[in-house]
Structure 1
Amino acid sequence: MKGARPNLKAVDGGLLKAPPMPSHLPADMKDVWRTTAADLVGRGLLTTSSLPLLETYVGALWMAKECREAIAEHGVLVRGEKLQLKPNPAGAMLKASQDTVARLAADMGISAASRNSNAIRAATEGQKNAESGFENFDL
């Protein structure tokens, strides 16, 4: 992950409740959607405009799962048209999905490591201070 990550902070207009998972996402990802959306709502980070990012994150997790299953079934190497061994195309798809998941998890503060970054910790503390009414007192 190159470059500085944005400072995540609770936003005005953030959703107060996790919306239902869109019907175009696989049904077996419903628990992932609920858990992730609830986490983001709880930290005041989920907005209507960030829902497509959450959809992409959940879709990429599903794709990674499917790729792992294809690799488990067919192996890391598969036979090509002339019976030569070649890398399973699911490997490249898995890498792309994992890259997407890692990037979005870091950008949205979903991963534990990204939550421990200074920017996200400051945003969380700012939200706690705002809730307590002492945000102007540096406490």
Structure 2
Amino acid sequence: MVDLPLRPDLLSQQAEADGRLPRSAAVPFARLSAWREPLETLEAFLTLIRAVHQCAPQAVAGWLLCGLCGFAGSTHPHEAPVRAARLTCLVAGQTVGLTPQGVSELVLSAETGLGQARKIGAIRAGLGR
């Protein structure tokens, strides 16, 4: 199997042929190497997310999972949850119509929650729980 290049026009055609389900057009986004140029990849990913949301909103979660595998996995494991939260917030912004300010607030909340979860995990680990 060969991945399609990250060209939104080609990926959109393939996604349409796949019924907008996260199939062959979604595969490149699950690869770590696709996220070496994160801004370019993110732009292509969000373009497809918008199209998927319009035609098959039930498929957005599957597309998000593909994106999360590549995007979050392309960094140090300690940073993966923060990257996953950021991508999830960006997708939420594209699918529920959040303003840029709303997305920023959602990202900040997610990062704060992850930071608190890490502290709780560290405390529990220190207590032997």
Normalising by structure 1, what TM-score?
Answer: 0.31
Q: Report which of the two structures shows the higher radius of gyration computed on alpha carbons.
A: 1
Normalising by structure 2, what TM-score?
Answer: 0.33
Structure richer in strand, relative to its length: 1
